[in-house]
Structures are given as structure tokens and as C-alpha cells.
Amino acid sequence: MKNFLSLTLNYLSIFLAACIFAFAPLPQFGADSDKLGLAALMAVFILTSFIHYFININSTEKSKFKIQLIDYAMLCLICAGFVSVMGSYFFKDSLAGFIKYALYFAFYIALVLRLKRASEYNIIIGACLVGAIWPSIEALNQYLFGAEALATWEDPNIHISEQLNRIYSTFGNPNLYGSYLLAIWPLCLWPLVHIIKKKNIKLWLKTGLSLSLVILILTFMYFILQTGSRGAWLGLAAQITISLLFCFLLLRRKFIWLNFALPTLIGLVLLYLFSRPSFSARLLTIFSSYEHSSNAFRLHVWAACLHIFKDNILFGIGTGSKAFYDVYGIYMDAKYSALGAYSLILEIMVEMGLLGLFSFLFLIYSLCRAAYKGLEIAKTNTLTSLSLTDWNYEKFYILICLIALSGLLISSLFDIVILRPQIQTLTCLLIALMRFYTLSKFK
């Protein structure tokens, strides 16, 4: 009976996790009124995962949970949120926000407890890529036939010929869709690495599958550009920089022509972007300060948030958008109403104070340390000593997680869409993946 229950929960939990990542991008879960459906699905997955873990806790040594540095960092962050709730003047609204944070923390723990094999993570990554199909079709439709602006996304002072047709797919927000793609396109490298390193596969099949994945990656990157999300653009620039850096370091000895090809490719891409007024005009607005309406809005919100942080410096005002709105109204400029800080680090500072800020920085440190040890940079003493012959699947997977998380963190400096369900679930998965593939490095 115990074995039957364990087996049932085993398949059920994997199925639920796959459904979460496959269904999260659908428009039904993007609307505020339907987020409870995704939350309920997550809650059932968490429950089945915990029951499955406790049933099998004494069966094998491998099934036991071994806490890692990343787990401590995640725990510190959720504890900082709890402390801020306890000291908040808006306890009820803050508690509602904390429940959401607690749900995602439990979701991360459930992923760690339940997914113990690389094959199980491969299923989940496959579900993520399947889930990206419908948004991609809708994004292509908006790119070809135009997308209706659901909000004032462009400065009215910019000439119509220089305005970008900003796509948002099923997400209703180009910044949200851009951040989602920042997490998705690196996951396309996952099967690509496996196909390239696979030896018992026919060359024509390997070439066809690899080419298809490369085209998909380039399509996702172009869609990021077409969203017009400047935060996503900066995140993509960081991802491409890391990708090209490691590509050059690993392949420079085998392919000498990369010394000339990579700079030439970067130059051609930049030339193409600046040759299109809609791209170049949008890109240059990053440096226009208060002259651009979107910049002015963010700068005023950030100034108000710094005042809130200064007055609630230790433990913050409490978690959640409702608590933020209750307090922000006191500090805001009359023209600039907001439901968030439009910067993840500022949002954490306002909600959780210094305690939350240090916990967040601890999480970033733990992820960087995991990548540093997982890629064995310390072992080679320097990046220039890296060699492709020393790399296995695990190191490539760690690098993929690093690329995805770096893009999300850079883009989150200018927005808080990373806290939306479509992105936050992927962020939990990427952190769990980083932990899984660097586990042996911390023993």
C-alpha cells in the first residue's frame, strides 16, 4: 500500500509541476481574477510533494533533504518578510502579500524535495518550452499585424515614425513578456547541449534539431527586442555578454576564427539596431533622464521609495502591493501613482527594510558562489584556463541557469514583473536547478 501511494504521488507531482510551467503563460492565468487557479495548482503540487517526501524519507539516503547555502538564503528572505509583517502598521494587507511570498518559498522547497533526478528536471524544462508555444504564436501575430497598445507605453513627444510596435503576446504587458523570454530562451540551450554532445545520433538529425533550436533562440531574442522593454534589452545584453564570453573562452583554441567572428557579429547586430529608427530612438531614451515620460515616472517613484525606506529603514512597511499602496500615497508626487517600486531591490528595501536587503544580497551571493564552484573556476584559478574538454553536461546546465538568472536580475533593476506568477515560478525553477547541479560542490 505504501509503495502504491508513493508511486501514485510520484507521477502525480511530476504531472502537476509540468502543468504549472506549461499553463502559467496562458492568458487565463495572466488575469488578476484567475491567479487563484494557478495558486491552487501550486498548492496541490506542494502538498503532494511534501507527502511523497515524508513517505520516502527513510527509504534511501538519497531521498533525505540536505540543506544548502542557497536554501539558507531563501529562508532568510522569507524570514525577513515575516518580521516586516509583524511590525507593519498595515498588518492585514501585509499578511496577504506575505502569503504569496510564502507560497513561492514553499513551491521552491517542493521542487527541491521532489525533483531528485536530472531526467525529472528535463521533463519540467520540456514543459516550460511547450508552454512558450502559444505566447510565441500570439507574439508572431502581433509582430506581423500590429499590437494594440493597451496602455500609454511610449512618450507622446516621440514621433510616430520612431515609435516601436511593442508586442506583449498573451501577457498584456511588453515588460512582462520581455522578462519571460529572458528566462525562456536560455532553457532552449538545454536540449541543444544534450543534442550536440550526444554521439549515438545520426548527423543529419543532430544538425536539423540543433538548427531548429538555434532558430527558436534567435526568434525569442528578436521578440525581446520587439517588446521595446528597455529593462529586458539590458538583461538580454548581459546574457549575450556572458554567453559570448564563455563561448570564446571554451572554443577559442579549437576555433581560431572566433577571435574575429564574434566581434564582427556584435558589430553587425548593433549596426542593424541603430539603422532602424524605432529601435535606436527607444534605446537612446535610456539616457534621457526626465525628458522621457517613462523615465520621469520611474525616477519620481524611486525618489518616493527612498523616502519610505529612510523612514522604515530596519524592517520596512510590510509585504505586498496593498501595503505598498497604503504607504506610497503619503510620499508620492500627485502625478505619479504606482502599485510598486518599479525596481526589485527598491521593492525589497521598502517592504522589508535593511533586513530584507541583506537577505536578498545574501541570495545573490549564494547563487554566484554556486556558479563559481559549479563551473570550477576556482580549480582553474582563472577564466582564461577554462577548456571545453573539461566540461560535462552539468557545467553547461549551471552556465545556462547563470545566463537566465543574470538577465532576470538586470531587468528587475528597472521593474518588478519578476514578482508576477509567470516569472516567479520560472525563477524558483532556475534557483532549484542551480542548487541541484552544484549540490556535490558543497558536500
Instruction: Return the C-alpha cell found at 199.
Output: 554521439
For 54, residues 6+ apart whose C-beta sits below 8 A from its C-beta are none
Structure confidence at residue 9 (pLDDT): 85
The model's pTM is: 0.91
> How far apart, in whole angstroms, are the C-alpha atoms of residue 239 and residue 234?
9
pLDDT more than 70, % of the chain? 86
Question: Is the Cβ–Cβ distance between 103 and 42 less than 8 Å?
Answer: yes
424 pLDDT higher than 50: yes
Count CB-CB contacts under 10 A for residue 11.
Answer: 10
Summarize pLDDT for 197-249 with one digit per residue, the tens.
Answer: 777 777 777 788 888 888 999 999 999 999 988 999 999 999 998 988 888 77
d(CA 227, CA 142): 10
Cα distances from 77 to residues 43, 101, 168, 409, in angstroms, run 20, 9, 31, 16
What's the rounded Cα separation, in Å, for the pair 179 and 235? 8
* Contact in structure between 273 and 279 (CB atoms under 8 Å): yes
Give the integer Cα–Cα distance in Å for 432 and 80.
21
pLDDT value at 307 more than 60: yes
Residue 187: predicted pLDDT: 94
Mean pLDDT for 364-368 is 94
Q: How many C-beta atoms surround the C-beta of residue 432 within 10 A?
A: 24
In this model, does residue 399 exceed pLDDT 80? yes
Which pLDDT belongs to residue 216? 92
Q: Please say whether the beta carbons of 335 and 108 come within 8 A.
A: no
Q: Per mean pLDDT, which range of 19-28, 39-48, 106-115, 125-134 is the poorest?
A: 19-28
Which range has the worst mean pLDDT, 46-50, 277-281, 416-420?
A: 277-281
Average pLDDT over residues 323-346: 84
pLDDT level of residue 379 (50, 70, 90 thresholds):
low
Question: How distant, in Å, are the alpha carbons of 23, 41, 150, 217, 331 from that of 139?
Answer: 17, 26, 15, 14, 38
Query: In terms of Cα–Cα distance, which of 266, 268, 338, 265 is closest to 299?
Result: 338
Return d(Cα 300, Cα 409) in angstroms, integer: 22
